[in-house]
Amino acid sequence: MNGVLSAVSIATLQKPQKRVKIRAQNEAIASEIAYTFSLSPLTSRILSARGFIPDDSLKNYLVPTLRSGLPDPSSLLNLDRAVEKICDIKAKKESIAIACDFDVDGLSGGALVHDFFRKAGIKSQVYVPNRFTEGYGLNPRIIREASASGHKCLLTIDFGTTNEKELLLAKELGLTTLVVDHHHVQTLPPADVFVNPQQAGCGFAEGTLAAAGLAWYLILGLSKALEGKAELHPKEFLDLACLGTICDMVPLRGANRIIARRGLESLEGTKRPGLIALKNVCGVGSGSVSCSHVSFGIGPRLNAAGRMVSGELVIELLTTSNSGKAEKLAKRLNRLNQERQATEERVKQKALRQLSERSTTGNGLVVWDKEFHTGVIGIVAQRLVEQFYRPSAVMGFDQGHFKGSVRGIRGVSVIELLSSLSSYLVQFGGHEGAGGFSLQVDAEEEFANAFDQKCAEMLEGIEKEPSVEADTEAQLAEITPAIVRELKRFEPLGVGNPGPQLLVRGLEVRAVKVLKESHLKVTLGDGNNAISGMMWRTPEHSALRVGNRVDVVGKADLNTFFGQTELQMNLQAVEESTSK
């Protein structure tokens, strides 16, 4: 690669410092919340700043329940038809081919349905596309194998909405087609039954459910239809449903919040040998399980299979009843994740070197190399966004042409960006924040320039620096272990429900230490009070110098290390203090 874009060196684009904002405060409502729900003033200020008032919606948020909080399955368009088709397959003693995506959402959804079918006496087999030889989505190989194996029905999970040709092939081969998906709908696919909250006339759960959540709703409907014919308990499958819900980064509110919350509770006491073994290799053990454990421990190991070899390993792990086999598979996934991390770092460093060797306007960043591992290009694109806060595309070579992943920033829609560049692409897909594509042969330079120019247009009038929004201002003395435990009531945390961000002003920097050449650990103080602070993936910060006074925004937590527990703030933003 030797791409030339123009204008300025990438060296002028350093990691931007986040600008600090603070939500509007309402002390009167905060006081009412504190009184009604017996919460601390700090927690109540956060809730009021997020728009809550002391009513049933806040009660449901603090104590989400399956019975009162979940929308009725009957309002999910076409779910009843999908249930009817599957019940018909069961009655005829026929079998179902389940095709699912190779990410955590698709794999957990596929494993969930496959395991439920087994317990319900429905024969099924799971097929997963190969990322490297087949790419994303339904493909002819899966369809032909399903037909040759004697299956009469094809159920897709986490793709199918855009697979018109493949669904027509399935029909030609006599397969009944059921699509369960959550991706953007432009035109209705030629499926016998199409379940997708994004289709016109649906809007179920605000259209935000992950595929694993939809899979859980499918078995919820089936369990009611099969009531009395089998001993089926949908709650037992929430441990799988929460994996895709958390890892696919859907908004954790409403139905998603309940699935994630109750799923995490189910995950703590799961009886699945695969999940028990996976928790052990992640160091989670038998204790409480948080969103962070799933996002940064369990999820990456599940994703590593599809990124490095095959997602079918995950289906084996999540559905096996053999503890010995589960332990071996979990250890293999752990090794694959370590391999993925090393590969990701190599690709990232090479991408950074390429950017440093050429000019760019700095509006949209594009790197490509035939040696880039296509299993990690999406992660590397995200790392470039984190470092430079610009839409970024990373491309690797596979089967005769470049395949790329794109990650965006706030205000720039990736699917809109790719749609505008479709003349350069063989195929593409995605959503607001991320997408993937296959590039036409020898179009790298033209695509890179067009990507950059389109990003320049889309960046007009939007913030070109990242920002962090504090929920409320706090005194250091307010941040205690008891408060941190109370703030756990905001969990599960994620998109649409971030962890409480506290603004603390006028803290003295008392110590600074660089960890693993990548992270900063600091000690911050105010009089007799002190707290540790961590800035991840930031080896240096101009404001963090011993003796400086700083204003910080971060999430308060308890960090336990070698049996010692201390208060810690995970810092999101640091500014020179204007406070005395």
In a domain, 568, yes or no: yes
Q: Looking at the structure, do residues 525 and 455 belong to the same domain, yes or no?
A: no
Residue 11 has pLDDT above 70, yes or no: no
Q: Looking at the structure, do residues 372 and 264 belong to the same domain, yes or no?
A: no
Q: Looking at the structure, do residues 292 and 159 belong to the same domain, yes or no?
A: yes
In a domain, 344, yes or no: no
Q: Which CATH number is 315's domain given?
A: 3.90.1640.30
Q: What is the pLDDT of residues 107-127, one digit of tens each?
A: 999 999 999 999 999 999 999
Mean pLDDT, residues 172-198: 96
Residue 7 has pLDDT above 50, yes or no: no
Q: What are phi and psi of 376, to 5 degrees?
A: -120, 0
In angstroms, how far is the first alpha carbon of the chain from the final one? Answer: 52
Q: Which CATH number is 443's domain given?
A: 3.10.310.30
Residue 287 has pLDDT above 60, yes or no: yes
Q: Looking at the structure, do residues 134 and 86 belong to the same domain, yes or no?
A: yes
Residue pair 362/389 in contact (Cβ under 8 Å)? The answer is no
Q: Looking at the structure, do residues 121 and 197 belong to the same domain, yes or no?
A: yes
Question: What pLDDT is stored for residue 565 in this prediction?
Answer: 84
Q: Could you tell me if residue 568 is left (phi over 0), alpha (psi between -120 and 50 degrees) or otherwise beta?
A: beta
The token duo for 505 is 């002003």
Q: What is the pLDDT of residues 449-471, one digit of tens each?
A: 999 999 999 999 888 888 899 99
Q: Which CATH number is 27's domain given?
A: 2.40.50.460
Q: Looking at the structure, do residues 135 and 276 belong to the same domain, yes or no?
A: yes
Q: Looking at the structure, do residues 198 and 256 belong to the same domain, yes or no?
A: yes
In a domain, 316, yes or no: yes
Residue 10 has pLDDT above 70, yes or no: no
| pTM of the entire predicted model | 0.90
Domain that holds residue 434: 358-459
Where a domain ends, among 293, 320, 335?
335
Judging by DSSP bridges, how do beta strands 176-180 and 193-195 pair with one another? parallel
Over pLDDT 90: what percentage of the chain?
82
In a domain, 4, yes or no: no
Q: Poorest-confidence range of 12-26, 182-196, 318-332?
A: 12-26
Burial zone of 356 (CB within 10 Å; 0-12 exposed, 13-18 middle, 19+ buried): exposed
Residue 438's SS3 state is strand
67 compared with 272, residue with greater pLDDT = 272
Where a domain ends, among 427, 459, 491?
459
Q: Looking at the structure, do residues 191 and 230 belong to the same domain, yes or no?
A: yes
Q: Looking at the structure, do residues 258 and 400 belong to the same domain, yes or no?
A: no
Where a domain ends, among 433, 459, 485?
459
Mean pLDDT, residues 137-147: 97
In a domain, 150, yes or no: yes
Q: What is the pLDDT of residues 36-86, one digit of tens each?
A: 999 999 999 999 999 999 999 999 999 988 887 899 999 999 999 999 999
In a domain, 37, yes or no: yes
Q: How many domains does the chain have?
A: 3
